[in-house]
Structure 1
Amino acid sequence: MLPISVLCNIVESGFAPLSCECTESLGLLRIEVYDPVTRRVELLVSGVSTAELTSVRAVSDLVGELRTKLKAGRRIFAG
């Protein structure tokens, strides 16, 4: 298993130019993606289990899934 600090670092670096905060409590992640200027939350996901995030590839796949959800959410509100 990856250390939580490494896991969160990978997640947080995956949303530039937006900012991201990743925190862990009791084996669950809370991931908040927001605009660094306005602080408007663009995506908030909580309850993500760290049990399956055992490799850099698994964390990268999670970031990809979350980016897809983020883009889909933006399209919903854009139109």
Structure 2
Amino acid sequence: MLSHLELRHLFESAFLPTECKCTVSSDRTISIQLINPRTRKVEVSRSAVPISGLTSSRAIANLVAELKEELRIWPIAHQDLRHNRR
């Protein structure tokens, strides 16, 4: 099993140049925030991900892929919300 520092490094490296903040909690979960480097706003956030489910490279890669997809569609989803407010 990877250490908490290794997990953080993997996630933070996977999303460059987007800033990635990882927080490991005492309940053995990890929270991940992806922050737009220009606006400094959190664009994607996933909290309370059980570390016990991140024991293989495939599990880690799947989570990274999910978060990258959320990050990819974030501008489209939020553009729709802005148009609906008008």
* Aligned-pair Cα RMSD in Å: 1.4
Corresponding residue for 2:18? 18
Gap regions ≥5 residues in structure 1: none
Which structure: greater helix fraction? 2
Aligned residues: 79
Q: What is the CA-CA distance between 1:10 and the residue it aligns to?
A: 0.6
1:51 alignment partner, SS class:
helix
TM-score (norm 1): 0.86
Q: What is the CA-CA distance between 1:36 and the residue it aligns to?
A: 2.5
Which structure is richer in relative contact order (CA contacts within 8 A, separation 6 or more)? 1
TM-score (norm 2): 0.80
2:77 alignment partner, SS class:
helix
Within 5 Å, give how 1:1-79 maps onto structure 2: 1-25=1-25, 26-79=27-80
Q: What is the letter of the counterpart of residue 45 of structure 1? A: R
2:72 alignment partner, SS class:
helix
Which stretch has the larger CA shift, 15-24 or 51-60? 51-60
Gap regions ≥5 residues in structure 2: 81-86
2:47 alignment partner, SS class:
strand
Counterpart Cα distance in 2 of 1:18 and 1:70: 10
Counterpart Cα distance in 2 of 1:63 and 1:2: 16
Q: What is the letter of the counterpart of residue 5 of structure 1? A: L
Which stretch has the larger CA shift, 58-67 or 69-78? 69-78
